[in-house]
Amino acid sequence: MIWAVLAVIAGLILLVWSADYFVDGAAATAGHFGMSPLLIGMVIVGFGTSAPEIVVSVLSAMQGSPGIALGNAYGSNITNIALILGITALISPIAVRPQIVRRELPILLAVTALAAAQLFDGELSLADGMVLLLALALIMGYTVLKNMKGKDNIVGDIADEFANPAAKMPLSRALMLLILGLVVLVLSSRLLVWGAVSIAQSMGVSDLIIGLTVVAVGTSLPELASSVAAARKGEHDIALGNVIGSNLFNTLAVVGLAALIHPMPVAAEVLNRDVLVMALLTVLLLAFAWGRRGRITRTEGGVLLAAYVAYTAYLVGTSF
């Protein structure tokens, strides 16, 4: 038990240490390659910070633990929207560009609906996994193509977005910080999850609850660390794009790979409780982003955070 506790402490320290370096490297790399912060957030940061979820869910599927695999993916999505964006908005209200409301959030909502539709038969099959991975390839290809062709309104503002010291960073240093920060984020989150899961299992909690709470929060800590750091630096596109991209990867790549490796039965409560909460939070996020202020306010961040606390309390209460 002592090693598990030490792993949790060490993981938290390393996560906080690496977050600033990771965001600086991502922002500077975007400037050098003429890419928007939103694209960096969705593709590079989103995929990179979803790596812990991918590793955990793939290993869980291979070891025959579908509860952890699915709970990790859907629980991370709930954590990303309710906990991470809630905390980020409380620290600094998140500016939302019209492009996100018109395109990225509706895509995320459609992907969430696809995930729910696949669970109605009570299982995730090999075909379901292939559909999810194909959808991911199409969405990421479309996003990159649109951005590189310069059709997004956000691209015209690159010069203003990067009028800061990070934009003047040499490319070699930017890439070094990006890679180093990403590696430390992933490794520290794995260390943290190992310790947290060991502690939770010693308490006799089910694998689904472990996946939805301990593992989901642990693997979402890179998103939390990088989103909070991005918001404090005024990089709202990275903060919000990070969460949107991560949720897309979790729903499509994490679940898709797990189903591809080991088709699995799905407990009824996953659809009736967890996916439902994930869908409602996605709709709520879209409603907040649609507001006339063009930002997610501190009050709305408080609402998201309260929703996460209520959901987690319900899970803990019913599990015991």
If you ran DSSP here, which 8-state letter would residue 265 be given? E
Contact yes or no for 316/98 (Cβ under 8 A)? no
- Of 60, 78, 77, 81, which Cα lies nearest the Cα of 69? 60
Placement of tokens 């599927």 in the chain: 61
3-state secondary structure 114-176: HHHHHCCCCEECHHHHHHHHHHHHHHHHHHHHHHHCCCCHHHHHHHHHCCCHHHHCCHHHHHH
pLDDT on residue 114: 95
Kindly give the pairing relationship between strand 94-95 and strand 295-296: antiparallel
In our burial notation (b when 16+ CB lie closer than 10 A, e otherwise), range 237-259 reads: bbbbbbbbbbbbbbbbbbbbbbb
Give the relative orientation of helices 276-289 and 66-78 as an angle to the nearest 10 degrees: 20
- pTM, two decimal places: 0.78
* Sign of torsion over alpha carbons 114, 120, 125, 127: negative
Higher pLDDT, 196 or 315: 315
Q: Report pLDDT digits (tens) over 177-236.
A: 888 888 887 788 778 778 877 877 787 777 788 888 888 888 787 778 778 887 777 777
Task: Give bridge partners of residue 123 from the DSSP assignment.
Answer: 265
pLDDT on residue 53: 77
Task: Give bridge partners of residue 265 from the DSSP assignment.
Answer: 123
Higher pLDDT, 162 or 285: 285
- Residues 31, 40: Cα–Cα separation, whole Å: 10
Which band of pLDDT confidence, cut at 50, 70 and 90, is reported for residue 61? confident
* Sign of torsion over alpha carbons 312, 88, 72, 198: negative
Least confident of 31-45, 50-64, 184-198: 31-45
Domain covering 2-319: architecture: Up-down Bundle (1.20)
Q: Check whether 151 has a pLDDT greater than 70.
A: no
Q: Report pLDDT digits (tens) over 76-124.
A: 999 999 999 999 999 888 888 887 888 889 999 999 999 999 999 888 9
pLDDT on residue 213: 86
Give how far Cα 306 sits from Cα of 4, 77, 85, 161, Å.
Answer: 29, 16, 12, 32
- Residues 264, 255: Cα–Cα separation, whole Å: 11
Terminal-residue alpha carbon distance, the chain = 21
pLDDT on residue 113: 95
Least confident of 87-91, 237-241, 293-297, 304-308: 237-241
